[in-house]
């Protein structure tokens, strides 16, 4: 990630459809070479925000900038700097992969050897060389996603907007797509990507933004967002003879909540740092419980998402 002026900016962005506020005062920035994950439940406003950035829709209020150019005042300059990969890929009858990419290369004004070189590079990067003459309708889901990514990068944009790129892909295809996205960021491209597969985003993104009901709830790394929340560690304890008595003991301890018992296992949340967890373990043993397992689960992006959002829809 390169420091400097942001490449993507959303400035107090609003978009309403009648009484529904699809995007409600959203502001964030993405730096050059950064992969920014945009997450939220269905209907949260992710796709609407991305369509505005891609100049396919206009905000009701506010603005969005790509490389310093406004999507409202300079849409043509924005389009030359941006590649958009929507959540739905349209295949065409009797069109090969090469012809498909050739059409979009021409649409971006590439001519002659420059166009042929751009097509060759896009196909090589997405590993479609061997499918150049294959009809697009005959491609698998994973190959269609690669072709869509090749189309989005054919004009060498500085910004990529990827809406649910990993949806429906098998594990290998998701891993390969993740590697491609990180490679594009390493070249200095800024990537805004949305996904419902939070484990994928956690592995590829530098920062994330969490949106719900059109409002941005949190922005930052997983650690930064977690630090802004009240600290709750997920703890699992196994005791000899069953956890029923331990559960009753835990109910009397401060900072312990959401106790769930399963045979010899007790699961619960605990407020505090590692020293507080060590003190709790000492107190358990002093109280006579035969603890044979005590562990804290590392907070994941899924955990943070569930804590920040409420599951509301509109």
Q: Structurally, how many domains does the chain consist of?
A: 2
State the CATH number of the domain containing residue 71: 3.40.50.300
**Same domain, yes or no, for 127 and 53?**
yes
Confidence category of residue 313, pLDDT binned at 50, 70, 90: low
Residue 259 within any structural domain of the chain: yes
Residue 228: pLDDT over 70: no
> Using CA atoms in the order 64, 70, 74, 75, what is the torsion angle rounded to 10 degrees?
-10
Residue 1 within any structural domain of the chain: no
**Same domain, yes or no, for 204 and 304?**
no
Q: pTM for this structure? A: 0.78
Sheet of 82-85: strand order equals 82-85, 159-163, 190-194, 35-39, 207-212, 215-220
Residue 31: pLDDT over 60: yes
Q: Which domain holds residue 287?
A: 233-308
219 - beta bridge partners? 209
Residue 181: pLDDT over 70: yes
Residue 128: pLDDT over 90: yes
Q: Number of H helices and number of E strands within the chain?
A: 11, 14
**Same domain, yes or no, for 154 and 72?**
yes
Instruction: Specify the 3-state DSSP secondary structure of 181.
Output: helix
**Same domain, yes or no, for 155 and 15?**
yes
State the CATH number of the domain containing residue 246: 3.30.70.100
Work out the mean pLDDT of the chain and round it to a whole number.
Answer: 89
Strands (E), the chain: 8-17, 20-30, 35-39, 61-66, 69-70, 82-85, 159-163, 190-194, 207-212, 215-220, 233-239, 256-262, 265-270, 291-297
Task: Give pLDDT, residue 215.
Answer: 94
Task: Give pLDDT, residue 125.
Answer: 95
How buried is residue 112: exposed, middle or buried, by Cβ count under 10 Å (0-12/13-18/19+)? exposed
**Same domain, yes or no, for 253 and 186?**
no
**Same domain, yes or no, for 238 and 214?**
no
Task: Give pLDDT, residue 231.
Answer: 57
Residue 227 within any structural domain of the chain: no
Of 220, 247, 275, the last residue of a domain is 220
**Same domain, yes or no, for 73 and 43?**
yes
Residue 48 within any structural domain of the chain: yes
Question: What CA–CA distance (Å, rounded) separates 270 from 279?
Answer: 12
What tokens were used for 228? 């802004």
**Same domain, yes or no, for 144 and 25?**
yes
Confidence category of residue 223, pLDDT binned at 50, 70, 90: confident
**Same domain, yes or no, for 205 and 237?**
no
What does DSSP say about strands 159-163 and 190-194: parallel, antiparallel, or unpaired? Answer: parallel
Q: Tens of pLDDT along 269-302?
A: 888 778 888 999 999 999 999 999 998 776 667 7
Of 164, 187, 220, the last residue of a domain is 220
Whether 194 and 24 have beta carbons less than 8 Å apart is answered as: no
Residue 2 within any structural domain of the chain: no
Task: Give pLDDT, residue 3.
Answer: 67
Residue 236: pLDDT over 60: yes
Of 220, 251, 286, the last residue of a domain is 220
**Same domain, yes or no, for 161 and 264?**
no
Task: Give pLDDT, residue 310.
Answer: 67
Residue 159: pLDDT over 90: yes
Instruction: Specify the 3-state DSSP secondary structure of 133.
Output: coil
Residue 83 within any structural domain of the chain: yes
**Same domain, yes or no, for 39 and 108?**
yes
Question: What CA–CA distance (Å, rounded) separates 288 from 23?
Answer: 55
Task: Give pLDDT, residue 226.
Answer: 64
């Amino acid at each position: 990630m390169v420091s400097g002026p942001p490449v993507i900016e959303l400035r107090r962005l609003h978009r309403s459809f009648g009484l529904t506020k699809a995007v409600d005062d959203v502001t964030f920035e993405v730096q050059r070479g950064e992969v920014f994950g945009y997450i939220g439940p269905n209907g949260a406003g992710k796709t609407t925000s991305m369509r505005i950035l891609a100049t396919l829709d206009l905000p009701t209020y506010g603005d969005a900038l790509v490389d310093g150019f406004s999507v409202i005042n300079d849409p043509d300059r924005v389009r030359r700097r941006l590649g958009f990969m929507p959540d739905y890929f349209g295949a065409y009858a009797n069109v090969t992969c090469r012809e498909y990419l050739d059409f979009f290369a021409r649409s971006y004004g590439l001519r002659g050897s420059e166009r042929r070189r751009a097509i060759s590079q896009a196909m090589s990067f997405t590993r479609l060389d061997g499918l150049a003459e294959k009809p697009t309708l005959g491609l698998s889901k994973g190959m269609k996603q690669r072709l869509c990514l090749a189309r989005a990068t054919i004009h060498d944009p500085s910004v990529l907007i990827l809406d649910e790129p990993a949806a429906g892909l098998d594990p290998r295809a998701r891993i390969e797509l993740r590697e491609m996205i990180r490679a594009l960021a390493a070249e200095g491209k800024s990537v805004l990507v949305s996904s419902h597969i939070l484990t994928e985003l956690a592995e590829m993104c530098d920062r994330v933004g969490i949106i719900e009901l059109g409002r941005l709830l949190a922005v930052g790394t997983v650690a930064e967002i977690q630090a802004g929340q009240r600290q709750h560690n997920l703890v699992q304890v196994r005791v000899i003879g069953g956890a029923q008595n331990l559960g009753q003991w835990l109910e009397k301890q401060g900072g312990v909540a959401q106790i769930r018992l399963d045979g010899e296992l007790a699961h619960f949340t605990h407020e505090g740092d590692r020293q507080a967890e060590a003190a709790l373990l000492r107190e358990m043993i002093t109280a006579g419980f035969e603890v044979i397992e005590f562990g804290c689960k590392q907070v994941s992006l899924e955990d943070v998402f569930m804590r920040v959002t409420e599951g509301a829809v509109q």
